[in-house]
Amino acid sequence: MNDLDRKELIRQASAVRERAYAPYSGYAVGAALLTASGQIFTGCNVENASYSATICAERAAVSAAIAAGERSFIAIAVVTTNGAAPCGVCRQVLNEFGRRTIVLVADTTGAIRQETTVGALLPDGFGPASLASSA
């Protein structure tokens, strides 16, 4: 992954963050997911008065990619005001599609606060191999 890819992912995540629906927390999040086919899918958080019905930006981007038939991801950029990393549920969803997926965590200035992988964010994560039969 090169610097142009990083900048484009952060640019798209920042742009979609502006469309977030976050009336309760006021914490807008945008995500841009790069697939192995070179397509980028975006998502923003959509809050709900019933908090458990809220969807995170990362999961929205993954869902859009899956709905388009994508299953292999290269990287995801997540943009928040303060450069916070994905929550545990989002880490688990990303883990389903590859522990080596690069995770770029940036703030609203576009500064990358952290570059890591899903595997590093979720050590010993539960994934498809965890369901393999031992018989």
CATH of residue 78's domain is 3.40.140.10
What's residue 128's pLDDT?
86
pLDDT at 134: 59
Instruction: Name the residue with higher pLDDT: 130 or 30.
Output: 30
Contacting residues for 64 by C-beta, under 8 A, at least 6 apart: 33, 41, 42, 43
96 as an active site residue: the answer is no
Report which of residues 28 and 132 the model is more confident about: 28
Q: Is the pLDDT of residue 93 over 70?
A: yes
Please pick, among 47, 58, 70, 96, the residue that the annotation labels catalytic: 58
- Those residues whose C-beta lies under 8 Å from the C-beta of residue 33, and which sit 6 or more positions away, are 40, 41, 42, 43, 58, 61, 62, 64, 65, 73, 75, 76
The chain-wide mean pLDDT, for the chain, equals: 96
Q: Which residues contact 25 (CB under 8 A, 6 or more apart)?
A: 47
pLDDT at 129: 86
What's the structural domain count of the chain? 1
Task: Tell which wins on pLDDT, 130 or 62.
Answer: 62
Check pLDDT > 60 for residue 90.
yes
Range of the domain at 72: 3-131
